[in-house]
Structure 1
Amino acid sequence: MLLSPKHQFLFIHIAKTGGTSVRAALARRRWADPWYWPMFACSRLSHLSGHRIATKLPRHAKAIAAKELLPREVFEALFKFAFVRNPWDLQVSSFHHIRRERPRYLGGHEAFPAFLRWKLDPERPPQYHLDTSIELQSDYLIDLHGKLIVDFIGRYERLEQDFSEACARIGIAPPRLPHRRQANDRRADYRAYYDDQTAELVARHFAPDIERLGYRFDPAP
């Protein structure tokens, strides 16, 4: 989550949706914000206290957290935006991220289909390092009653275009987005990773996202 009181925006960072690039592009704007240094000090205090004093909005916090923690008039005045991603593609990205940086968390499942079945197994005890990409993306965008509380939802599939739109809504010139990191051994088309059964696993688990965000598993061209 990225908050700028000066420019009055709140970026809700959903993992594996291009958010790291968005944060990096907006970093200079944060440094020029007179509120940045007091917020940085609060962040450090939160870290040093073991995050017991609630002075920091976590990197991947949901919009409802900001709504509950910020004064109502402050939250309502912010331009709140996020990026989302096709759930089938996101799971492929998550698999390669874990295999590249945290292979011990693969649970012994080196192939994507086996890993996905294990990961989405309802009987498996929840594990935070996996469950960030198991959570519904739409949960990051709604309040406790299911009402959408963000002003703009961009899409990873058109990241640059939608980032420019978000910047226009904020009232700033769009800074350059840094290169998005991608695993060298990943096949470009996410559909190549799935068969009918594994595609259906994702369809069932992420059905609310697929319905609310309008994604689908398109047939290969």
Structure 2
Amino acid sequence: MLLSHRYNFLYIHIAKTGGTSMRAALNKLRWTDPMYYLMFPCHKISQLSGHKTASKLPRHAGVIAAKEMLPAAVFDNLFKFAFVRNPWDLQVSSYHHIQKEAPHLLSGINNFSEFIHYKLDANRPAIFHFDISTKRQTDHLVDLDGKIVVDFIGRYENLSEDFIQVQQRLNLKQLTMPHKRKAPKRDADYRQYYSDETAEKVARYFAKDIRLLNYAFE
């Protein structure tokens, strides 16, 4: 999650939706935000005192964290946005990311189908690299009542175009978004990775995202 007081926005970073590249572009703005230089010492004081503040919000936290920790007047005035991704494609991206960043976690997992069965098994042990992309995307976007409280939801499939809309909404000069954490070579068509069984398994697990974000296996 990225909060800018000067530019009045809150970016909710959902894993595997181009967020690292987006943060690289948006982070350039922090050097011209006077509040940024106060946020770091405030965060350190928060850690030492044990009193949690919104001086630094967790990277992949949902919008509810900011809503609960920020004053209502501040939160309500922020332009809150996030990007989402087709759940089937997101899991392919996750698979390749783990192959690159933490291949030891795939020991005993021989292919993508085994990866999906293991990853979505409710009885497996908690593993950060697996868990970070099993959280429903819509859970990042809602308050305690289940109401979507972000102002703009962009799509990974239209990343560049939708990021331009964000910049226009914030009256920002054109920002260059680098391609960070590029995955190893993969089949461009995510459908090629799935059997009927694994496609249905993802459909059931992420049914809420598929319904509310209007995605399909196509």
TM over 0.5: yes
Cα distance change, pair 121–33 in 1 and its aligned pair in 2 (3 A): same
**Secondary structure at the counterpart of residue 53 of structure 1:** coil
Tell me how far apart the structure 1 counterparts of residues 203 and 90 of structure 2 sit (CA, whole Å). Answer: 12
The count of residues paired between Structure 1 and Structure 2 equals 216
CA deviation vs aligned residue, 1:88-118 (integer Å, no higher than 9, x gap): 0000111111111111222521311101111
- What stretches of structure 1 of length at least 5 have no aligned partner? none
Counterpart for residue 202 of structure 1: 202
| Map of 1:32 onto structure 2 | 32
1:193 maps to which residue?
Answer: 193
- Alignment pair present for 1:90 and 2:90: yes
Matches within 5 A, 1:8-23: 8-23=8-23
1:145-156 equivalence runs, <5 A: 145-156=145-156
Checking the alignment, whether the CA contact within 8 Å between 1:17 and 1:90 is kept in structure 2 is yes
Q: CA RMSD in A?
A: 1.5
- Mapped to 2, the partners of 1:85 and 1:74 lie a distance apart of 28
Letter in 2 for 1:184: P
- Shift of the alpha carbon at 1:180? 4.1
| CA deviations over 1:108-154 (Å, ceiling 9, x no partner) | 21311101111111222333331110000000000111100000000
What TM-score comes out, normalization by structure 2 length? 0.94
1:59-93 deviation digits (Å, cap 9, x = unpaired): 11110000000000000000000000000000011
Residue in 2 that maps onto 1:104:
104
Deviation of residue 189 (structure 1)? 1.2
Supply the distance in 2 between the matched residues of 1:84 and 1:199 (Cα, whole angstroms). 19
Structure-2 separation of matches of 1:80 and 1:62 = 11
Partner of 1:133 in structure 2? 133
Equivalent residue for 2:3? 3
- 1:165 is aligned to 165
Q: Which range moves more in the overlay, 181-190 or 141-150? A: 181-190
Rounded to whole Å, the distance in 1 between the matches of 2:174 and 2:157 is: 18
Q: Is 2:21–2:177's contact at 8 Å kept on the other side of the alignment?
A: yes
Determine the C-alpha separation between the residues in 2 that align with 1:141 and 1:181.
24
Residue identity in the other structure for 1:41: P
Q: Using the alignment, how far apart are the partners of 2:40 and 2:176 within structure 1?
A: 24
Partner of 2:64: 64
| Percent identity over paired residues | 57
Other structure's SS at 1:176 match: coil
Amino acid paired to 1:8: N
Q: Partner residue of 2:175?
A: 175
Which consecutive unaligned segments of at least 5 residues does structure 2 have?
A: none
Q: Aligned in 2, Cα 1:44/1:93: closer, same or farther, shift over 3 Å?
A: farther
Distance 1:66 1:125, change over 3 A: same
Q: Distance in 2 between matches of 1:131 and 1:101?
A: 15
The structure 1 segments of at least 4 consecutive aligned residues displaced by more than 6 Å after TM superposition are none
Contact 2:83 2:156 in 1 (8 A): yes
What's the counterpart of residue 117 of structure 2? 117
